[in-house]
Structure 1
Amino acid sequence: MDAPTSLPLALARHTLLARTREWTNLPDDELRRRAVRAAGDRDTLALVSLTTAHLAHQGGSGVLTSRRTIEAYELGARQFLDYAAGQALNLLRPGRHDAQSYVNHMLAAGRKPAGVQLKVAAAGALYRALRWAGATDADPFRDVRVPRDRTPGIVKRPPYSEDELADVLESADVQVKFLLFLTAHAGLRISEALALHWDDLDEAARRVQVRSGKGRKARVVALSTSLARAARHYRRLYGPGGPEHTDGRRTTPQDHVFRYHHPMTARYHAEKAFQAAGVPFRGFHAGRKYAGTRLLRQIRDFGRVAAHLGHESVDTTRRGYAQLAADDLKDDLSSW
């Protein structure tokens, strides 16, 4: 049986479908006319709307595309359109150097290759939408080259240390503390944690059911002893019938674990706790990296760590989420 869809998620999908139909309900000739006019007028609002419509209609996930993905593509499309306006580029008939020049412009400005790749993906999505609408045949980003960044992600954006997490947990309120436990012990993404329902938590069996993982993949995650203990304490306060659950101030559906459901709201509350502890906030992913690194050093099995973090590829875990100590082989080499 499919997991129930939360009200905010259902509304978001309905809104995305409605935005898509603003374009898909048009006859082909009208769709082309509006797209050509938007490109000629450099109408950023219309062009971003067209990009979103195509992504939600023809993209791999369709109307199930996550809000964060939509926001990232919309931002990237706007940034390319701003650049194109500043360079007086012809959107429908771009020159053969225009796309690579955009890449080089971002690199020269100090953007990291990984970030540039994301901006290229968004600009490419804009041109896929224009081709879909029949406004152009141009595919300028097909052959662009972005240099590879060979520095592992875990080096560029390291995990929190044991001491850092301990200091923050002392300063955090109950909700932020439990949220950090879910990221740093269960290795949940922030979106996965905020989507949890009460019946997803099983403290007795020490496991949590993730129903809305990346790519809509569900998984069961084991809970550490301290996380299971924190979950029991949290449920007594905020669970159905608890004093904080019935105080009349909840703004999320009653079956949700957290009062707030948007990552930016969670970030706001977490940053206050980190600031109070004197620890720089490096995002919730640094908690996932703590989980991956600590677990890898304990079990030395990238496959099991990848499963815990919900990674489809072990390479993802190896590149950016788990790191063995530099002298990991010291004991193994001691008898040589």
Structure 2
Amino acid sequence: MTLVQYQGNVLAQSRAWTNLHDEELRRRTVKAAGEKDVAALVSLTLAYLAHQGGSGVLTSPRTVEAYALGTRQFVEYATANAVNLLRPGRHDAQTYINHMLAAGRKPAGVQLKVAAASCLYRALRWAGATEADPFRDAKVPKDRTPGIVKRPPYAEDDLQDVLEHANVHEKFLLFLIAHAGLRISEALALDWTDLDEGARRIHVRSGKGRKGRVVAMSTSLARAARQYRGQYGPGGPQHHDGRRATPPERVFRYGSTFTARYHLGKAFQAAGVPFRGFHPGRKYAGTRLVQQLKDFGRVAAHLGHESVDTTRKGYAQLAADDLKDDLAGW
């Protein structure tokens, strides 16, 4: 049996290893770790993630991709620095963390890489190849800079400039991100039945953690949705190239973030506004709502945050001059 790198089916990925007898599972894992076989170790990690992880085979593709990349990078580091994967030294894990920090990687990014490397070691222990748990006591310093400062929202003027240069498709996608506050994965997963322009509601069925929610549409988003449905909805004109990469019930005729970035990036480029990804648009929605409502709970519900602290700390801190009217005359 040949073990290959993850290719999209987490169930098949898991079975490639779980179908092995325990001794064969251990033997192949020890061999892969000894040879620092990147493809096999990524495959093992993702099999463990699908079989024993918190979300199992329902783990999001984005998480799978992040763990695959993080595992690959750690194994490459271990190869370059003669780290024994099955018997790591007492300082090897912290040295890896310090190496990433010294290279300029931010603490939040380092934490993600540590999560992937830790998952690799859980997989190695699961396979019976080692008892090592090198990242158990390793420390990643906290980044005290608020998320809203590190990755600020798009400015109101910049979004207006982009909208002036955007076509029907680009406007609709931008409003979904910057008014409805949808994650790009949530936007791309929408079906036509999820949109109710009359009631100004969106049914998000594939939110983070597989949690659904109902999101209110702004007046501008509802108008953009009607225009988009008229051009691209069932029974409307076909896409310019006549092809579909997704089922016909899907709102967007592609399913990848890369393609969405290409489309929305064109509007930003035409407006002369730097495109910083989708998240600053989502932060715009959160920040504007907090300033308007002064209610983190309602904003957290709109954005689909499980914890209000996530909204408060990372997405929608009040502007520094929020109290200027209250302080007038002091």
Q: What TM-score do you get using the length of structure 2 for normalisation?
A: 0.95
**Range with bigger deviation, 261-270 or 193-202:** 261-270
Per-residue deviation, 1:272:
2.0
Counterpart-to-counterpart distance in 2, 1:154 and 1:233: 33
Matched with 2:53 is 59
Deviation at 1:231, TM superposition (A): 0.6
| Percent identity over paired residues | 77
SS of residue in 2 equivalent to 1:332: helix
Tell me the distance in 2 between the aligned counterparts of 1:137 and 1:160.
47
- 2:34 aligned to which of 23, 40, 43: 40
Distance 1:43 1:83, change over 3 A: same
Contact 2:245 2:255 in 1 (8 A): no
Name the residue aligned to 2:247: 253
Superposition deviation, residue 14 in structure 1: 8.0
* C-alpha distance in 2 between matches for 1:328 and 1:207: 30
Shift in Å, 1:271: 1.7
The answer for the alignment partner of 1:83 in structure 2 is 77
Partner in structure 2 of residue 295 of structure 1: 289
Encode CA deviations 1:105-161: one digit per residue, 9 max, x unaligned: 000010000000000000000000000000000000001111100001110100001
Query: Partners of 1:332 and 1:128 in 2: how far apart?
Result: 53
Q: What is the root-mean-square deviation of aligned Cα atoms in Å?
A: 1.6
Question: Matched residue of 2:128: which SS?
Answer: coil
In structure 1, the residue matched to 2:111 is 117
Alpha carbons 1:175, 1:258 under 8 Å: kept: no
Q: Which residue of 2 aligns with 1:147?
A: 141
Provide the residue aligned with 1:329 in structure 2. Answer: 323
Which amino acid is the alignment partner of residue 185 of structure 2?
A: S
1: CA distance, partners of 2:277 / 2:312? 19
- Within the alignment, does 1:269 sit opposite 2:249 as a pair? no
* Offset at residue 83 of structure 1 (A): 0.6
Asked if residue 71 in structure 1 is aligned to residue 71 in structure 2, the reply is no
Deviation at 1:277, TM superposition (A): 1.3
Given residue 96 of structure 2, which amino acid in structure 1 is its aligned partner?
Answer: Y
Out of 179, 183, 187, the residue aligned to residue 193 of structure 1 is: 187
Kindly indicate whether the alpha-carbon contact (under 8 Å) linking 1:296 and 1:302 is maintained by their aligned counterparts in 2: yes
| Matches of 2:72 and 2:102, distance apart in 1 | 19
Among candidates 221, 236, 251, match of residue 242 of structure 1: 236
Determine the C-alpha separation between the residues in 1 that align with 2:30 and 2:60. Answer: 28
CA distance in 2, matches of 1:192, 1:85: 38
Instruction: Compare 243-252 and 218-227 and name the one that shifted more.
Output: 243-252
Deviation at 1:13, TM superposition (A): 11
Between the two proteins, the alignment pairs up a number of residues equal to 325
Pairwise mapping of residues 223-234 of structure 1 onto structure 2 (< 5 A)?
Answer: 223-234=217-228
C-alpha offsets along residues 295-319 of structure 1, whole Å, 9 cap, x if unaligned? Answer: 1111111111111000001111111
Cα shift readout 1:198-234 (whole Å, capped 9, x = no counterpart):
0000000000000000000000000001100111111
- What is the Cα deviation at residue 247 of structure 1? 7.6
Task: Give CA deviations for 1:233-278 in whole Å, capped at 9, x if unaligned.
Answer: 1111111111136983333211000011111111122222212211
Residue in 2 that maps onto 1:8? none
1:13 touches 1:63 (CA, 8 Å); kept in 2? Answer: no
CA contact (8 A) 1:159 1:286 kept: yes
Q: What is the aligned counterpart of 1:16 among 2, 10, 21?
A: 10
Q: Are the counterparts in 1 of residues 168 and 227 from structure 2 also a CA contact under 8 Å?
A: no
1:214 counterpart residue number = 208
Question: Residue 25 in 1 paired to residue 19 in 2?
Answer: yes
- What is the Cα deviation at residue 169 of structure 1? 1.6
